[in-house]
């Protein structure tokens, strides 16, 4: 899988050719262009709104903008810059939804975790999936939820810079800010998350009593983990560290590396039924007319 956030992205020449063909009405080229980038947009959206269903809506909203504005792309910038600037502007300015509907702070999030009782793991015969998958679901749901304690810009910069591994130059280019500004925001977000996790999370600090295995049953009872519908742990997992393997960052603070690694170990998620949605969008008369699709 190509990674659009590498310093020298291998997607530039391919994207340029697909854009040119799509602007000339080649539907297959447009489909290929969108499918190359949709999972990356979706993985940004998940960290902004938490709930995969809401993230799918956000991804669709972004891609409708991209598709309908494609004719205005003049090639003066990289397609990556143009596409992900549309994406980042959208997620920074969209209405609150999903996990963002309830504004969280690190203190309120800690209280919610601490109020979840420590319980034994479920009986393996009582749940439809392997118990370790439930523990993994609890871990990823909990750590993804921590991102909602950051403000939107911090969350977006952390997602781009720490999770997906965009360099300061690439992140600044996409967000239309200086590399130094991107680096400063990322450092604050990383520090805030590490301080919270170091005081709360047993994954980062072994002295903390909070353990994913102890909270899993409580998360199930609280409706935060559904054994019948896992949303963060697909059966066939590709980790972000694998999808974005060329973009691991060097972190000066050794202590912060452990918390950053947890987020890069999250699954690289794929939106459900995306190909069907894309076909429906491209079959809309207004879209076909706007793009002169074949």
d(CA 186, CA 166) in angstroms, rounded, equals 11
pTM of this prediction?
Answer: 0.91
Q: What is the pLDDT of residue 103?
A: 83
9 vs 200: CA distance, rounded Å: 37
Nearest to 85 by CA among 156, 9, 185: 156
The helix/strand/coil state of 219 is: helix
Instruction: Examine residue 89 and state whether it is found in any structural domain, yes or no.
Output: yes
Q: State pLDDT tens for residues 19-51.
A: 999 998 899 999 999 999 999 999 999 999 999
- Domain assignment of residue 6, yes or no: no
Question: Does the pLDDT of residue 101 top 90, yes or no?
Answer: no
CATH number at residue 103: 1.20.140.160
- Report how many domains make up the chain: 1
- Dig out the tokens for 89 from the structure: 């502007």
Quick check: is 220 in a domain?
yes
- Whether the pLDDT of residue 11 is over 80: the answer is no
pLDDT at 141 (0 to 100) = 95
Compute the distance between CA of residue 50 and CA of residue 261 in angstroms, rounded to an integer. Answer: 19
What is the average per-residue pLDDT within 202-208?
Answer: 94
Dist CA 182 CA 258 (whole Å): 21
Question: CB-hemisphere CA count at 13 Å for 13?
Answer: 2
37 within 8 A of 69, measured Cβ to Cβ? no
259 lies in some domain: yes
Q: Which of 67, 34, 48 is nearest to 290 (CA)?
A: 67
Task: Identify the top-confidence range among 10-24, 69-83, 156-170, 232-246.
Answer: 156-170
Q: Is residue 4 part of a domain?
A: no
- pLDDT at site 258: 77
Is 236 a member of any domain? yes
Q: What is the pLDDT of residue 79?
A: 93
In a domain, 189, yes or no: yes
In a domain, 5, yes or no: no
Residue 237 sits in which domain range?
12-291
pLDDT score of 278? 85
User: Reduced to 3 DSSP states, what percent helix, strand and coil does the chain have, rounded to the nearest 5?
Assistant: 65, 0, 35
**Quick check: 117 pLDDT over 80?**
yes
């Amino acid at each position: 899988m190509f990674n659009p956030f590498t310093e020298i992205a291998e997607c530039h020449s391919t994207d340029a050719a697909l854009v040119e063909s799509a602007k000339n009405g080649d539907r297959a080229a447009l489909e290929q262009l969108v499918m190359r980038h949709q999972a990356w947009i979706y993985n940004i959206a998940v960290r902004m709104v938490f709930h995969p269903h809401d993230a799918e809506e956000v991804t669709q909203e972004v891609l409708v903008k991209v598709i309908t504005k494609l004719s205005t792309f003049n090639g003066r910038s990289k397609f990556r810059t143009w596409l992900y600037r549309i994406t980042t502007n959208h997620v920074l300015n969209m209405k609150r939804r999903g996990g963002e509907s309830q504004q969280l702070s690190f203190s309120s999030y800690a209280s919610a975790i601490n109020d979840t009782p420590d319980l034994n793991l479920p009986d393996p015969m009582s749940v439809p999936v392997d118990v370790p998958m439930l523990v993994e679901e609890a871990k990823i749901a909990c750590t993804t939820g921590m991102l909602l304690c950051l403000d939107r810009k911090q969350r977006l910069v952390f997602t781009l810079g720490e999770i997906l591994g965009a360099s300061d130059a690439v992140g600044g280019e996409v967000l239309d800010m200086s590399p130094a500004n991107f680096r400063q925001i990322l450092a604050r977000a990383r520090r805030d998350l590490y301080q919270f996790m170091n005081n709360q999370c047993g994954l980062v600090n072994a002295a903390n009593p909070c353990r994913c295995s102890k909270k899993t049953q409580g998360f199930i009872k609280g409706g935060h983990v559904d054994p019948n519908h896992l949303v963060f742990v697909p059966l066939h997992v590709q980790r972000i560290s694998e999808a974005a393997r060329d973009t691991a960052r060097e972190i000066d603070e050794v202590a912060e590396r452990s918390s950053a690694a947890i987020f890069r170990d999250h699954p690289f998620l794929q939106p459900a039924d995306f190909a069907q949605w894309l076909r429906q969008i491209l079959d809309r008369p207004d879209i076909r007319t706007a793009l002169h699709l074949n």
